[in-house]
Structure 1
């Protein structure tokens, strides 16, 4: 009888533990996977890709990878998570300096659940209002890495 009671206690604990692991795995797979900022002009192609814990910088095809803090990634991914990703391709740029090559033509691509959401093009440093917070957070991380 004693073994039967112990057995009855172990089964629910095991089932609860398995369920907790499944929900945490599911939670992490529903978030932002990566975010890329692309800046292009004649003769220069810069792509900054942020993924969990890493910043990959590509300048005219030459790549470099650096570590970023989990806090930086969390802040950037939370900012992106708050956005309506289906609408970012329809956002209007507040300026058009990229047309005359006076500014980099920039765009942001957010990958969530295997789907890429790409913003409309905008001038580097002057994103649409809806993208400003995300753009600023990305640039903070990039500038911090450049200064080291």
Structure 2
């Protein structure tokens, strides 16, 4: 494949630039932001960051590409514990082609089926153990 053809193919593919997972409840506000090469964690305003492997980013961005971002805000959560503060209220935000796509809210640890693989991989990367 020539360089010109390769560049055209790469430009025609959508581009995931960043993915965020937010988890909130009274007294707790966590935002995990994943970009190529970096994971930033903001917990109640305290920010830490760590390096990610290229493989981690590739796996997460590949899983995010499979999600229908146009309808991500319409996904139905399988549980509603976040309504009574029994679970953190979570959302996934995918930054793609200069646009921001935010999922509907769901209970931490129990995402809609369409987000399960991505959510599980994000949890693995941020090394957070969730109880069910």
Aligned counterpart, 2:34: 50
CA deviations on 1:33-67 (whole Å, 9 max, x unpaired) are 00000000000000000000100000001111110
Tell me how many residue pairs correspond in the alignment: 127
CA RMSD across the alignment: 1.8
Unpaired runs of 5+ in structure 1?
A: 1-15
Aligned counterpart, 2:44: 60
Aligned counterpart, 2:24: 40
Aligned counterpart, 1:109: 93
Aligned counterpart, 1:12: none
Shift of 1:133: 0.4
Aligned counterpart, 2:54: 70
- Secondary structure, aligned partner of 2:127: helix
Shift of 1:22: 4.4
Aligned counterpart, 1:6: none
Shift of 1:26: 3.0
TM-score normalised by L of structure 1:
0.80
TM-score normalised by L of structure 2:
0.89
Unpaired runs of 5+ in structure 2?
A: none
Structure with max Cα Rg: 1
